[in-house]
Chain A
């Protein structure tokens, strides 16, 4: 058995069975996943996600929203995205109980840090990572509140589970409450409160704007969709030395570092290809990466010793990777 820390090399190797598919709200289903032989699943922490490889080969990340004290079942919840690329359409209308799926991870880019007080903010399906965070905060005796935004109560999942927490939870359905801005509800910064946000891009952006002058470390966001970055720092080609393979590849402006590595015949495990999942993380031995992912913190970026070659590039004319 392996833990979250050393699980990376097993990613996409584990096959799990859909043991239950449940309608949770309009456009939201949950899946329960278990090992076909009933084995214990790898440990995870609040904020963790898994990669789910669908039969078509496409790969999606979903936050684990079940109970980590139950080592035999994972629960994820999936929103039907009508303008999506087919993943949620398949899960909602093609996938049946008994189907086997390849699962990678878990991996955590959205860790819960200790605090006396928390404000959790969820928009729509962004509620999923918040459920285990709330459970943890509650067990540690923290003072916490949840703001849960959605279009209407009919589309908002887990309202029954959240009801048990009483008035710590504030449900904000747009059709009843009207469009309430997150800023009005968040209020001013408080040094003893950590704010966790997950949801649609416009909610994240609104909260980020509201908290722009807060001290670092108080606001913590999960990007399901990739952050937008400006143009790369360098517009010319650059060389990437693959230290273990003993190869150097030239990366042209229109090609990702990952593609250049793969074209050179070096295998590398990848998943989202947009810098949100962390699967392709590599160690940087030399040179300075131009980070273009949605995962690393400012401190991680400054350290400069790892990067995600699916999106990140080089600031200089040479990078040395532990590949």
Chain B
């Protein structure tokens, strides 16, 4: 590999942000990154990095200079072949990005998805009943954070039952593949052909139900708002981006409450805080930790000249903990207005499914707040390592159900 010598004034580091240690606890590294400067050079990967809120937010907004179409992972699509056909949403820029984005903005908009709320509340009540009926101790990841999205989201998209077990492994690999080709990517590589084929088969018009998001995407192709060739790839975007992210977002908010009992009491007093709570948890844990961008021109950021065509790693998680932007950033606080966090990205590529994620979270939280008086960690917690996601493997919790609550 030819290393292009970085601007000598730019701070650099030998730390590998995708190493096991950093994935286990990224906060110390992120703190060093922010302290080092607005732009830092990562020697190991020959790329630039940004960890401060101001620069990260500005770069995410400036799609003209910091493009996504060269891939939002380490791999540069200008030089390397992507492992799968690029996403029409995440890995595209205007004008190619416009029509798919406009379509999903509409299908996944607050007005369109409101009709899901009622049945999702019923699903949440049923799930919570089932979990609590087994006793006061359970795994908040497997039993709630993963179980709830897997129960409601595939139905909302309209995919068949068969093959749903591949959603999480596929998503896990897709998010690993944004990082360097390390052992996490190698671990998933063997199953790529099988998983890709399974997900692709879920995106076909004939397997989708007639009333889900998938059918709406195909209906847009019939109207000519997108092309027939785009439709399955847009469905695929829902399946890739809509499961692991929400699972880890829910795990994040449950962990935050289990370790902040005072905040849980506040939510119980005022369940309308559930939406703020979820966004605050997304800020606090940043389920999507990082995405790359690629420069389309020479650009100076914070005194560093980044040449055209270079990859820059945006640390969303670090920006969301930047004390330059947030008071007491390491505190999970429902008093805070978390608006402006970059946990969903920012600008034209900001998470188009965020309203779905908020609806899933607020539905589940409101049911839990009614049923559960207190929630605490009752055993060793375990992280799940992924090159892009800040994820949980296991969160053993013990809950006390609400004494005032009677049901049926």
Query: Do A111 and B223 touch across chains, with their CB atoms under 8 A apart?
Result: no
Question: Interface code A172-206, partner B: CB below 8 Å = 1, 0 otherwise?
Answer: 00000000000000000000001000000000000
In this complex, how many residues of chain A approach chain B with their Cβ under 8 Å: the count is 30
Chain A nearest CB from B102 CB (Å) reads: 6
Query: Do B95 and A113 touch across chains, with their CB atoms under 8 A apart?
Result: no
With a CB–CB cut-off of 8 A, which chain A residues contact B227? 114-115
Whole-angstrom distance between the alpha carbons of A108 and B62 in the complex?
20
Q: Does A266 reach chain B (CB closer than 8 Å)?
A: no
With a CB–CB cut-off of 8 A, which chain B residues contact A322? 111
Stretch at the interface among A38-46, A78-86, A309-317: A38-46
Query: Do A111 and B98 touch across chains, with their CB atoms under 8 A apart?
Result: yes
> Assuming A113-B225, A114-B227, is B95 touching A46 (CB within 8 A)?
yes
With a CB–CB cut-off of 8 A, which chain A residues contact B224? 113, 115, 194, 216-218
Q: Does A3 reach chain B (CB closer than 8 Å)?
A: yes
With a CB–CB cut-off of 8 A, which chain A residues contact B98? 45-46, 111-112, 136
Residue in B closest to A139 when the chains form the complex, CB atoms:
B95
Residue in A45, A140, A194 whose Cβ sees the most chain B Cβ within 10 Å: A45
With a CB–CB cut-off of 8 A, which chain B residues contact A194? 224
Whole-angstrom distance between the alpha carbons of A207 and B64 in the complex?
36
Query: Do B348 and A217 touch across chains, with their CB atoms under 8 A apart?
Result: no
Query: Do A114 and B64 touch across chains, with their CB atoms under 8 A apart?
Result: no
Selected from A45, A71, A305, the residue in CB contact (under 8 A) with B64 is A71
Chain A nearest CB from B55 CB (Å) reads: 14
Chain A nearest CB from B104 CB (Å) reads: 11
Chain A nearest CB from B225 CB (Å) reads: 5
Selected from B102, B112, B223, the residue in CB contact (under 8 A) with A299 is B223
Residue in B closest to A67 when the chains form the complex, CB atoms:
B64
With a CB–CB cut-off of 8 A, which chain B residues contact A320? none
Whole-angstrom distance between the alpha carbons of A299 and B222 in the complex?
11
Whole-angstrom distance between the alpha carbons of A218 and B225 in the complex?
10
Query: Do B225 and A217 touch across chains, with their CB atoms under 8 A apart?
Result: yes
Q: Does A145 reach chain B (CB closer than 8 Å)?
A: no
Chain B nearest CB from A72 CB (Å) reads: 10
Whole-angstrom distance between the alpha carbons of A218 and B222 in the complex?
11
Query: Do B223 and A3 touch across chains, with their CB atoms under 8 A apart?
Result: no
With a CB–CB cut-off of 8 A, which chain B residues contact A111? 98-99, 102, 225
In this complex, how many residues of chain B approach chain A with their Cβ under 8 Å: the count is 27
| A80-116 CB contacts (< 8 Å) to partner B | 108, 111-115
Whole-angstrom distance between the alpha carbons of A1 and B59 in the complex?
11
Query: Do A113 and B99 touch across chains, with their CB atoms under 8 A apart?
Result: yes
Whole-angstrom distance between the alpha carbons of A136 and B346 in the complex?
23
Chain A nearest CB from B49 CB (Å) reads: 22
Q: Does A306 reach chain B (CB closer than 8 Å)?
A: yes
Selected from B61, B96, B219, B223, the residue in CB contact (under 8 A) with A1 is B61
| B209-247 CB contacts (< 8 Å) to partner A | 219, 222-227, 230
Question: Interface code B106-140, partner A: CB below 8 Å = 1, 0 otherwise?
Answer: 00000110100000000000000000000000000
Residue in B closest to A45 when the chains form the complex, CB atoms:
B98
Q: Does B347 reach chain A (CB closer than 8 Å)?
A: yes
Residue in B61, B63, B224 whose Cβ sees the most chain A Cβ within 10 Å: B224
Whole-angstrom distance between the alpha carbons of A108 and B222 in the complex?
21
Query: Do A305 and B111 touch across chains, with their CB atoms under 8 A apart?
Result: yes
Q: Does B350 reach chain A (CB closer than 8 Å)?
A: yes
Residue in A3, A108, A322 whose Cβ sees the most chain B Cβ within 10 Å: A3
Whole-angstrom distance between the alpha carbons of A275 and B226 in the complex?
26
Question: Interface code A257-284, partner B: CB below 8 Å = 1, 0 otherwise?
Answer: 0000000000000000000000000010
Chain B nearest CB from A86 CB (Å) reads: 34
Whole-angstrom distance between the alpha carbons of A139 and B226 in the complex?
17
| B39-96 CB contacts (< 8 Å) to partner A | 57, 61-64, 94-96
> Assuming A115-B224, A194-B224, A217-B225, is B105 touching A5 (CB within 8 A)?
yes
With a CB–CB cut-off of 8 A, which chain A residues contact B94? 45, 68, 136
> Assuming A43-B347, A136-B98, A306-B111, is B62 touching A71 (CB within 8 A)?
yes
Selected from B99, B114, B348, the residue in CB contact (under 8 A) with A3 is B348
Whole-angstrom distance between the alpha carbons of A140 and B69 in the complex?
14
Whole-angstrom distance between the alpha carbons of A201 and B346 in the complex?
39
Whole-angstrom distance between the alpha carbons of A114 and B98 in the complex?
9
With a CB–CB cut-off of 8 A, which chain B residues contact A136? 94-95, 98
| A26-71 CB contacts (< 8 Å) to partner B | 40, 43, 45-46, 68-69, 71
Whole-angstrom distance between the alpha carbons of A71 and B226 in the complex?
26
With a CB–CB cut-off of 8 A, which chain A residues contact B346? 1
> Assuming A3-B348, A217-B225, A283-B111, is B62 touching A112 (CB within 8 A)?
no
Whole-angstrom distance between the alpha carbons of A71 and B61 in the complex?
10
| A237-271 CB contacts (< 8 Å) to partner B | none
Query: Do A45 and B102 touch across chains, with their CB atoms under 8 A apart?
Result: yes
Query: Do A112 and B99 touch across chains, with their CB atoms under 8 A apart?
Result: yes
With a CB–CB cut-off of 8 A, which chain A residues contact B64? 69, 71
Whole-angstrom distance between the alpha carbons of A136 and B99 in the complex?
11
Whole-angstrom distance between the alpha carbons of A187 and B348 in the complex?
38
Chain B nearest CB from A216 CB (Å) reads: 7
> Assuming A111-B102, A114-B99, A305-B111, is B62 touching A43 (CB within 8 A)?
no
Chain B nearest CB from A205 CB (Å) reads: 22
| A195-230 CB contacts (< 8 Å) to partner B | 216-218
With a CB–CB cut-off of 8 A, which chain B residues contact A3? 347-348, 350
With a CB–CB cut-off of 8 A, which chain B residues contact A1? 57, 61, 346-347
Known: A69-B64, A71-B64. 17 other contacts (CB 8 A): A1-B346, A5-B105, A40-B61, A43-B347, A68-B94, A112-B95, A115-B224, A135-B95, A136-B98, A194-B224, A216-B223, A216-B224, A217-B225, A218-B224, A299-B223, A305-B111, A322-B111
22 contacts between A and B (CB under 8 A): A40-B61, A40-B62, A45-B94, A46-B95, A46-B98, A111-B225, A112-B98, A112-B99, A113-B99, A113-B224, A113-B225, A114-B230, A136-B94, A140-B95, A140-B96, A194-B224, A216-B223, A217-B225, A297-B223, A299-B219, A305-B111, A322-B111
Q: Lowest 10 A-B CB distances belong to which pairs?
A: A217-B224, A136-B95, A217-B223, A283-B111, A1-B61, A113-B225, A114-B99, A45-B98, A69-B64, A114-B227
